Every structure is written in C-alpha cells, then in structure tokens.
Amino acid sequence: MKLPWDKNKSTEGAESAANGAQSSTPSSTTAQSSEPAQPLPKGYTPPKGRPTPKRREVELERGIVGRQSLAPTETYGQQRQKRKELKASMSKEEYKAYKQKERDARLKRQREAQAAMDRGEEAYLMDRDKGEVKRFARDWVDARRFVSNFVMPVAIALLIIMLIGNFYPEFAATASIFAMLLMAVFFAEGIATGFRVNKAARAKFPETTETGFGLGYYAYSRSVQPRKWRTPRARVEVGAEV
C-alpha cells in the first residue's frame, strides 16, 4: 500500500532510473561502434550497378513467354488451311498485293543472309564452313595461286573439244592427251594442297579435331573455284602472309 508521503519518493526513484538508463546508452553505443564489422553472410553479392531486367524481356530473348515457346507450332497442313482462309477473306487485288509483299520480305531476308554469309559471319555460315580452323584454311587458300584455279575453264574447254571431236577426230585425240596431262597436274596439286594446309593448320591449332582428309578436301574444293565465286568472300589478298 502506497502512502501519500511515499509518492515523491517513487517519482524520484523512477527519474533516477531513467537517468541511469540514458547515461548507460552512450556507453553501450560506444561499445558497439568499437566492435569490428560483422562478416558478410554466405552468398552475399555486391550490387550490380544496373537494373534487373524484367522477366518478360528475358523470356522474349529466349523465345519463350509464359513457359510457351514462340516457335511456330502449326503443321504444314494447318498453315495451308490458314492461307486458304486468308485468300478467301481478301479480294483478288488485295491477295495479290499481300503475296507480293510476302515475296519481297522473303527475298530481302535471303539477300541479307547471303550478304552475312559472304562477310563470313559465323551465325549464317553452313556447318562445313564454321570454326576458326576452316576460316584459317580459307585464308590460306585465298592468299595463294594454284593451277587448280583453272579447273572450271578447262572443263568448259574439254566440253567444246568433245563437240568438235565429232568432226575432227585427230584434233580430238591430241586434245584428249593434253587434257589427261592437266588432270594429272590437278590431282597432284590437290594432294600437295591437302598436306600443306594440314601442316599449317596443325602448327597454328595443335588441339584441332579436324580430320586431315576433310580439311584437305575443303581447302582443295575452295582452290578450284574462281576467286570471285567463293563463299564466304576472300578476306586476304593474293600474296598475303597467313
């Protein structure tokens, strides 16, 4: 039971306790500030310095939205039926304009793909042309002259000789001997080209997995093509050091 004259005592006691707590707070804060920094938790990563991309943007980059692929899922029959329905819903002039627009877009894509292939962009190349070893083989061939560069002109000349030989058998016999000698030269140069390009490629790429025959045939098949007809286009001049 609290008597009336004990009221002041209890108030004074509460004030002294509060003052003691306030006086102890700075000391505890000082103690905490003097403690060493806590180690970062496991798995902590610093800020990236850029905003996190939205989920839809990431899905569009991967070609998937809402766990559904954006790749066409219609069969050929469904596409054909859809085209028939589209044709029925248009007039003759509208459908003709639509077809022309579609054709122009397709030709534009083909020209862009061919231009990228000519430039040697890896994403547009055929499987046989991909890889740094194949790129090196192309540059190695493009930097040299070969007798095999004349395979196609010689083949055309032989075709003409065969036609003339029906009227001049003696001329055809002489031309056939000359053609056989040229074919022997082409064959010998093809073997030499295969050995040389394999030696150069394995010196530059010792860990390559390309087969010797495959790489040699690839280089020789490029050497028999006229320089302006080669795809991808030649990147180096004749005589350049590769």
Q: What are the pLDDT digits (tens) for 160-192? A: 888 887 888 888 788 888 888 999 999 999 999
Map tokens 């069969």 to a residue.
75
List of residues 6+ apart from 239 with CB closer than 8 A:
143
Averaged pLDDT, 72-78? 77
Averaged pLDDT, 113-132? 91
Whether the per-residue pLDDT at 214 is higher than 90: the answer is: yes
| Confidence tier at 222 by pLDDT (50, 70, 90) | very high
Averaged pLDDT, 189-212? 94
- Alpha helices for the chain (secondary structure H): 7-34, 55-62, 76-88, 92-119, 132-142, 151-165, 169-204, 212-223
Reported pTM: 0.60
Map tokens 């862009």 to a residue.
112
Residue 197 near residue 137, CB atoms below 8 Å: yes
Arithmetic mean of pLDDT over the chain: 79
Strand partners, 68: 65
Averaged pLDDT, 87-112? 90
**Residue 222 exposure: Cα atoms within 13 Å on the Cβ side:** 27
Between the two ends of the chain, the Cα-to-Cα distance in Å is 107
Q: What are the pLDDT digits (tens) for 39-74? A: 767 766 666 666 777 776 665 555 555 555 545 567
Secondary structure of residue 164 in the 3-state scheme: helix
Q: What is the pLDDT of residue 36?
A: 54
- 59, two tokens: 């899905």
What one-letter code names the amino acid at 161? I
Residue 78 near residue 86, CB atoms below 8 Å: no
